[in-house]
Structure 1
Amino acid sequence: MTDTAIAWDTYSRQRPERRPTNSRGETTWFNWTQYPDHGPGAELLSTPAGGRVLDLGCGKGGNAAHLATLGLRAVGVDVSPQQLVAARERWGQAPGLKLHRVEAVRFLEEDQLGFDAVYSVYGAVWFTDPAVLLPAIRERLRPGGRLVFSQRPPVQGCYGCQASYIPRGTDEDPLVVKRWDYEPEAWERRLKEHGFTDVSADVLAAPPGNRTIGTLIVQARA
C-alpha cells in the first residue's frame, strides 16, 4: 500500500485551488460536496462562536478557514505536507486557525482539550478504519458535540474496505490508498454501536444537469 503522505501530496498537485470567491462573492465558505455552491454549509455543525472544531483531513484548509472567520477555534489536521503548505500560504493568518501535520487517530489520542464538533469533508473519516477512528472521535467529543462527515456514496455491492486509486503519469501505476464505503444504514449502525446518538445518514442529490453522483452526509451527536 502506498505511503499516505506521498499519495495525498500527489493528489494535491492534481486538485485546482479553491476559487477566490464563490457565487455569492464570499472569500470564505463551507462546502460539504464535490460541487461548487451546492448543499448545506457550516450550520450542520451547530457550534456557536468560541467553540473548538476539528477538521480531519483538512486538505488545503478552506473549510477550516471559513469556520475561523465565524469565530470558532478551528483545528485542521492532514498527513500531506504539500496540502498544508497550500493551506498556510492562503489561510495561515486567519485568527483562531491552527494546522497540524499528523495522522487523524494519533492527533485524537494525544489531544487533551476536546472538541465541540469534529468533521470531515471527503477526508480522513473516509480513509481511516472506522473501528479505530470512531472510538477516538467519540472520546474527544464533548457532551452533545457533533460529528459530521461527507463522502461519495458507495458503489452498489462494494462495501467495507476498498482500494482508492490516485493517478500519476501515463507511464506510472496509480497510487493506492484504502477507503471505507458503507451504505447509509450501515453507517448509522456503526455510529450507534460506538455510542453516538441522533444519527442520520442521507445522500444529497447532485445539482441539476448531467451529474449523477450525490454526496453521502452523515451526522451524529456524542
Structure 2
Amino acid sequence: MADARSTAWDTYSQGKPQRRKTNAKGETTWFNWTQYPDHGPQADLLGLGPGDSVLDLGCGSGGNAAHLATLGMKAVGVDLSARQLDKARERWPGVSGMELHQADALGYLGDTSTIFDAVYSVFGAAWFTDPGLLLPILHTNLKPGGVFAFSQRPPVDGCYGCQASYIPRGPGADPAVVKRWDYEPDAWALMLKDYGYVDVSASVIAPPPETRSTGTLVVRGVLGGVQGG
C-alpha cells in the first residue's frame, strides 16, 4: 500500500505530536472538530447514541474515534498512513469498540458492506478526496437519515476546486504533493444538496479570540432518500 500518497502522510505523521493526555476539562478522551484545543462543537453534531456505528475517514492517530468508542459507539477509523495508525494503536491500546484499517477512503467504502449511522472526517480524507466520487459512494455506506459531517480549513479567496497541498520531507528533498478540494461554504451546501443530503449546514467557526489565525469550515448533512448529482 506504499504509494506516493501514503508515503506523504507517513511523512506528515512524523511531525505531528500525539494528542494531549487530558483536555482543559480533565477528560482523557474528547471530540475536536477544529484545529484548536478545547474549541468548537462536540460529538453531538453526529447525532449518535450508544450502539451506533460511525466511520472516521482519515482518522489519523485516532483521538476522535477513541472518544466515540468510549461513549459506546462502534467506531471504525480508516487512514492511508500506516504510521498514523501505529500512533493510534500506541495511544489507545485499551479502548474497546474501535477498529482501525489502513486504506484509501474510496477503496474502503467500495469494499465494506457495513452501513454506518454516521460518517465524518476532521481535516481528513473528505478534504483530500474528490467530492464528486466521495459523496455518491456514501449512499451505499450511510443509512438514510444518517449524518455526514466534515471539517477543514476554509478556502483561500479565489482558490476553489482541486488544489495542491505540499508536505515538507526534510532538507534536500522536494515536498510531497497531495490534492485537496476547497470550496466556499455555500458551494459545499449546494453540492451536498445535489447529492441527496438534506438539513445541510456549512459555515466557518471563528478561531479562539486569542489567535489571529483562520477559522474552521464545518459542513454537515443528513442523507435523504434520493441521490442527485
Q: TM-score, normalised by structure 2?
A: 0.94
Query: How far has the Cα of 1:95 moved from its partner?
Result: 1.1
Match of 2:113 in 1: 112
Q: State the AA in 1 paired with 2:98.
A: L
- 1:1-222 correspondence runs (5 A): 3-222=4-223
1:170 to partner: Cα distance: 2.6
Q: Which amino acid aligns with 1:68?
A: A
Distance of 1:144 and 1:129 partners within structure 2: 23
- After TM superposition, the structure 1 stretch with the greater mean CA deviation from structure 2, 55-64 or 207-216, is 207-216
CA distance in 2 between counterparts of 1:202 and 1:50 reads 29
Q: Distance in 2 between matches of 1:169 and 1:74?
A: 34
Distance (whole Å) between structure 2 residues aligned to residue 210 and residue 88 of structure 1: 32
| Aligned-partner SS, 2:129 | coil
Asked if the contact 1:12/1:82 (under 8 Å) is kept, the reply is yes
Task: Name the CA distance, whole Å, in 2 between partners of 1:173 and 1:22.
Answer: 36
Deviations 1:120-166 (A, max 9, x none): 00000000000101111122111210001000000000000000011
Secondary structure of residue in 2 paired with 1:16: coil
User: Any conservation in 2 of the 1:138–1:196 contact (CA below 8 Å)?
Assistant: no
Query: 1:4-49, CA deviations, whole angstroms, 9 ceiling, x for partnerless residues?
Result: 1000000000111111100111110000000000011101000111
Assess, with a 3 A threshold, how the Cα gap between structure 1 residues 202 and 169 changes in structure 2: closer, same or farther: same
> Which AA in structure 2 matches 1:84?
L
**Offset of 1:212 from its aligned partner?**
2.8
How many residue pairs get matched? 221
- Cα distance in 2, alignment partners of residues 88 and 17 from structure 1: 11
SS at 2:100's partner residue? strand
Query: Structure 2: which 5+ runs fail to align?
Result: 224-229
Q: CA deviation at 1:89?
A: 1.2
Q: Distance in 1 between matches of 2:193 and 2:211?
A: 36
1:53-90: CA deviations, max 9, x gaps? 00000000000000000000000000100000010111
Instruction: Show the counterpart of 2:226.
Output: none
Separation in 2, partners of 1:81, 1:123: 15
> What TM-score do the two structures reach when normalised by structure 1?
0.97
CA deviation after TM superposition for structure 1 residue 114, in Å: 0.4
SS of the counterpart of 1:83?
Answer: helix
Partner deviation per Cα, 1:189-216 (whole Å, 9 max, x = no partner): 1111111111110000000123230000
What CA distance in whole angstroms lies between the structure 1 residues aligned with 2:67 and 2:60? 13
Give, in whole Å, the separation in 2 of the partners of 1:58 and 1:92: 15
Q: Structure 1 residue 112: deviation in Å?
A: 1.1
Deviation at 1:109, TM superposition (A): 1.3
Cα distance in 2 between the residues matched to 1:34 and 1:190 = 24
Aligned-pair Cα RMSD in Å: 1.0
